[in-house]
Amino acid sequence: MELLTPDIGLVAWSSVAFLLLLFLLKKFAWKPILSSLEERNTSIEEALAQAEKARKEIADLSARNEEILKEAKEERNNILREANKVKEQIVAEAKEKAQADAAKIMLEAKEDIEVQKKAVMADMKNAAASLAVEIAEKVLTRELNAKGEQESFINELASKATLN
């Protein structure tokens, strides 16, 4: 039965040692442990906030990119419509001029008609080709510039975003 009932001296010294250990832990260990836990909690919350902010920025950028792409497509369609109108106008003007020249030249000689007809057709082809090249160059330049700006902006945001 002696094993089940400890001696009072043992209980007293065990209690003193426990209270001393508890005092030392409270004095020297709990504050640093709690402060490091608080710091870690704060850093985790900040990282989560930054991640959420990055997600929102990416969503905003995605929406903006879609909007820019839509605007670019609309602008491209407007430019193409204008080009078709200009082309039709040029063709109409060229036809009128060719008919007037043809009537005048028919009176002079059949050979002059053939030479004038070839010259008018060559001018029309060159004008249409030049116009098409200019339009394509402007459209491609605008689209490439927009894409380069988008890529540089995305790369800049990706380099700034730091996730833990």
For the chain, give every domain's residue range.
8-160
Residue pointed to by tokens 């605008």: 142
What does the longest C-alpha to C-alpha distance in the chain come to?
A: 145
Query: What does the pLDDT read at residue 147?
Result: 65
Radius of gyration of the chain (CA): 42
Query: What does the pLDDT read at residue 144?
Result: 53
> Could you give the CA distance from residue 152 to residue 47 in angstroms, rounded to a whole number?
25
| Tens digits of pLDDT across the chain (164 residues) | 566 777 888 889 999 999 999 998 888 888 888 889 999 999 999 999 999 999 999 999 999 999 999 999 999 999 999 999 999 999 999 899 888 876 776 677 777 667 777 898 888 888 767 766 666 555 555 455 566 666 666 566 556 655 43
| Contact by Cβ (8 Å): 105, 116 | yes
Assessment of whether the complete model's pTM goes beyond 0.85 = no
Query: What does the pLDDT read at residue 56?
Result: 95
Query: What does the pLDDT read at residue 6?
Result: 75
